[in-house]
Structures are given as structure tokens and as C-alpha cells.
């Protein structure tokens, strides 16, 4: 299944059905009177969050969604049936935005969450509604109200506990493949990863979800390389694992470039708990390891983890550090939620 994390679609609710103009005419009924029924309501447009989806690819080939018009009213005071609804099924983590791609209408984060996006038009009144003492035989009825329409954006932000960030070829996909059952594409050229990957990691009997996104280069926030579009997938994470390639000459500069792009993107990414690791250390001798670790420590202000996904060196230790960062963030979040008083407040 191909990955698609953004789609623009057109949605329209159904028009209401028209009211009927009808009169009761029976041989032995002298004063039949009007009996035109009301039109049915137009169909609504719903968005529902479902399990089992992790892409918006279904919206690439179908961008127009229209609910059905309500049935028209009929004689004998028969009301028209309601038009069929349209239900758009989206994966967990989908944001619904206005056409400007900035105004957020809803954030779908729970399976089963359902949003009424557009209401169908009301059905028109039949002529039976207009009967009065001065108008015993009304010969007019209301048309149904028109439905609503709009263009919206769907934007998927994967929900993961931790995210992998770094420059291209920093070893992010190799790390994800080493610690989970995910099988991302791995090669020795930049931008091998073209879309985010998720993996479920188990360590010491505890599990968490790890997201790997395409690499960042200087100027990503201006659209250079693959840009910063995929950073949205680590917005919801609780911690970041920042991998820096130990085989390059200046790992400290590589760290500063990625941190600069995180800050330029915003959304609090540069404020998340971060574990910094010097990767690919299996390719370095002891002297080079120490030299580049010191260079990176000077740039990041903490002692980096020396990591090798190929040999497994410090992989479990790195996972435990990420797990602790996730747990600390959860604990802080729980403590920051105001508690309801056990007894009613009295002045």
C-alpha cells in the first residue's frame, strides 16, 4: 500500500427534498383538503476514525464526495425519505483543515471518533403545512434547502511514542529495522527513506511505537531536499532519538543543522526530550570514536550514546533511554492535569 499523508477533497451534503402539492380526492369525502407531504432531509457528511488504516491513499483517486438528496414529499401526507449520508473513513491521527490548509476543524485521535462535518439541507414543507382558515386549498409548497459544500484538507500525523531524526544516511532506517519488525528500505545513498515508517519496539517487557522519517538537510524548512513536510509525523511523539553519523568529519555541525531545522519548523519539536547518539561507531577506531564523540558532546551539551545498529552495540541501552524519556513525559503530563476536588467547592 502506498503512503499518502495529505489530500485535498471536495465534500457536499445533500439537498433537502421538495414538499409536495397534493389534494385528497375521494368519491365520498366532500372536504378532502391538502395532503402534500414534506420533503426528506438531505444526507449528512461524516468523518470517522477507524482502525487498520495508516495512509490517505484512498483519497488520491476519489476527491469528490456528495451525500444524496432527500426524497420529495408525496400525497397522502407522506414525508420523503432522508438522503443517504457520506462517511469518510480516515486513519488515527488525521487532522481536518479548512481550504486554507491552516485552520484546524478537528483532530481525529481515537478509533471510533466521529465528526459531523456538513449537515444536509432540510426538506421543504408540503402544502398541508400552509392550510389555514383563510386558505383552505394552498397550491404551493417549499423547495428543499440546499446542502453545504466546501473543500477541505486531510493531513495525517502518525501517532508514535518516539521519533527518529537526523540527516540522510544517519542510520535511522537501519536502527528501526534492528529493533522492530519494520522493514524499511536501506541503501547507501541519501534519501533512501521517502516516507515515514513505524515500528513496534519491545524492551524489558515494555513496548512503544517508533517513527522513522526521511532525513533532514540544511534549508529543509524552505523546501530543500524532501523539505520538512514529514516532520508533522513526529509532532505527537513524546521523545526523539537524534542519530548523528559518526563516519562524517564534523558530527557537531550535523547535529546543529538538524536542530536548526526542528526549531524552524516549530510545533515544539526542539523542546521535546532528546536522546543523542553517535551512530555507525563500528566503523571507527577508538581514537576516532573519542574525537567525534567529544565534538558531538560540545555541540549538544550532553554525552552522546555510542551506537551501532549493525553490531548491536548499545542498542538496548538506547532503547531503555528512550523508554525512560517517554515515561517521564507521560508522568509530567499526568501531573499537569488539574485534579477535580473530591468535595464541592463552597465559598
Residue 55 counted as domain residue: yes
Q: Is the domain of 135 the same as that of 166?
A: no
Give tens-digit pLDDT for 27-37.
Answer: 877 778 899 99
Numbered residues of the known binding site for GTP:
166-173, 191-195, 212-215, 279-282, 308-310
Residue 343 lies in a domain: no
Residue 38 within any structural domain of the chain = yes
Whether residues 114 and 220 share a domain: the answer is no
Looking at the structure, tell me whether residues 126 and 240 fall in a common domain: no
The CATH number of residue 128's host domain is: 2.70.210.12
* pLDDT of 347 above 50: no
Which residues, at least 6 apart from 198, have a Cβ–Cβ distance to it below 8 Å? 54, 158, 160, 182, 209, 210, 211, 212
Annotated binding residues: 166-173, 191-195, 212-215, 279-282, 308-310
Last residue in a domain, options 122, 156, 190: 156
278: containing domain: 162-336
Q: What is the per-residue pLDDT across 317-338, written as a single tens digit (0 to 9) for each?
A: 999 999 999 988 888 878 875 5
The pLDDT of residue 48: 95
Domain assignment present for 144: yes
Verify that 80 and 216 share a domain, yes or no. Answer: no
Please give the Cα distance from 145 to 11 (Å, whole number).
17
Please state the pTM of the whole predicted model: 0.76
Q: What is the mean pLDDT of the chain?
A: 87
Distances (CA, A) of 25 to 35, 80, 138, 277: 10, 21, 15, 87
- β-strand partners of 162: 210, 239
* pLDDT confidence bin for 225, thresholds 50/70/90: low
Would the CA dihedral through 52, 57, 156, 269 be positive or negative? positive
Question: Do 326 and 214 fall within a single domain?
Answer: yes
| Structural domains in the chain (count) | 2
Question: Can you tell me the mean pLDDT for 112-129?
Answer: 94
232 belongs to a structural domain: yes
CATH number at residue 180: 3.40.50.300
| 61 and 117 part of one domain | yes
Same domain, 170 and 60: no
Judge if 150 and 256 occupy the same domain: no
Which of 140, 156, 172 is the C-terminal boundary of a domain? Answer: 156
| Alpha-helical segments (H) within 169-223 | 172-179
3-state secondary structure of 162: strand
Question: Inter-axis angle of helices 251-265 and 286-300, to 10 degrees?
Answer: 30
pLDDT classification of 343: cutoffs 50, 70, 90:
very low
Distances (CA, A) of 8 to 1, 5, 113, 267, 285: 19, 11, 21, 22, 51
Binding-site residue positions for Mg(2+): 173, 193
Is residue 324 a part of any domain in this protein? yes
Which of 94, 126, 156 is a domain's end point?
156
The whole-angstrom separation of Cα 139 and Cα 131 is 10
Q: What is the pLDDT of residues 234-290, one digit of tens each?
A: 888 899 999 999 988 899 999 999 999 888 888 888 888 999 999 999 988 889 999
Amino acid at each position: 500500500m502506498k503512503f499518502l499523508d495529505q489530500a485535498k477533497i471536495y465534500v457536499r451534503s445533500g439537498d433537502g427534498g421538495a414538499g409536495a402539492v397534493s389534494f385528497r380526492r375521494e368519491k365520498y369525502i366532500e372536504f378532502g383538503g391538502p395532503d402534500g407531504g414534506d420533503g426528506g432531509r438531505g444526507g449528512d457528511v461524516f468523518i470517522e476514525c477507524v482502525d487498520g488504516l495508516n495512509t490517505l491513499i484512498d483519497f488520491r483517486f476519489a476527491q469528490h464526495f456528495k451525500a444524496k438528496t432527500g426524497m420529495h414529499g408525496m400525497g397522502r401526507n407522506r414525508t420523503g425519505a432522508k438522503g443517504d449520508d457520506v462517511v469518510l473513513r480516515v486513519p488515527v491521527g488525521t487532522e481536518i483543515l479548512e481550504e486554507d490548509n491552516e485552520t484546524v476543524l478537528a483532530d481525529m485521535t481515537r478509533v471510533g471518533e466521529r465528526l459531523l462535518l456538513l449537515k444536509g439541507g432540510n426538506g421543504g414543507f408540503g402544502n398541508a403545512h400552509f392550510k389555514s382558515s383563510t386558505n383552505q386549498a394552498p397550491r404551493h409548497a417549499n423547495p428543499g434547502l440546499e446542502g453545504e459544500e466546501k473543500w477541505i484538507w486531510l493531513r495525517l500525523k502518525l501517532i508514535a511514542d518516539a521519533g527518529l531524526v537526523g540527516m540522510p544516511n544517519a542510520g535511522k532506517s537501519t536502527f528501526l529495522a534492528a529493533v522492530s519488525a519494520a522493514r524499511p528500505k536501506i541503501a547507501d545513498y541519501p534519501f533512501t527513506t521517502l516516507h515515514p515508517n513505524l515500528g513496534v519496539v519491545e524492551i524489558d517487557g515494555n513496548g512503544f511505537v517508533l517513527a522513522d522519517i526521511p532525513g533532514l538537510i540544511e534549508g529543509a524548512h524552505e523546501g530543500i531536499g524532501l523539505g520538512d513536510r514529514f516532520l508533522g509525523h513526529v509532532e505527537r511523539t513524546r521523545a526523539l532519538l537524534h542519530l548523528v553519523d559518526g563516519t562524517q568529519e564534523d558530527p557537531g555541525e550535523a547535529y546543529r543543522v538538524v536542530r536548526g531545522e526542528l526549531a524552524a519548523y516549530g510545533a515544539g519539536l526542539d523542546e521535546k526530550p532528546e536522546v543523542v547518539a553517535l551512530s555507525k561507531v563500528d566503523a571507527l577506531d577508538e581514537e576516532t570514536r573519542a574525537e567525534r564523540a567529544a565534538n558531538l558532546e560540545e555541540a549538544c551539551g550532553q554525552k552522546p550514546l555510542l551506537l551501532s545498529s549493525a553490531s548491536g552495540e548499545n542498542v538496548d541501552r538506547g532503547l531503555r533511554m528512550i523508554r525512560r524519556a517517554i515515561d517521564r513525559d507521560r508522568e509530567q503530563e499526568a501531573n499537569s492535569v488539574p485534579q477535580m476536588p473530591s468535595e464541592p467547592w463552597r465559598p
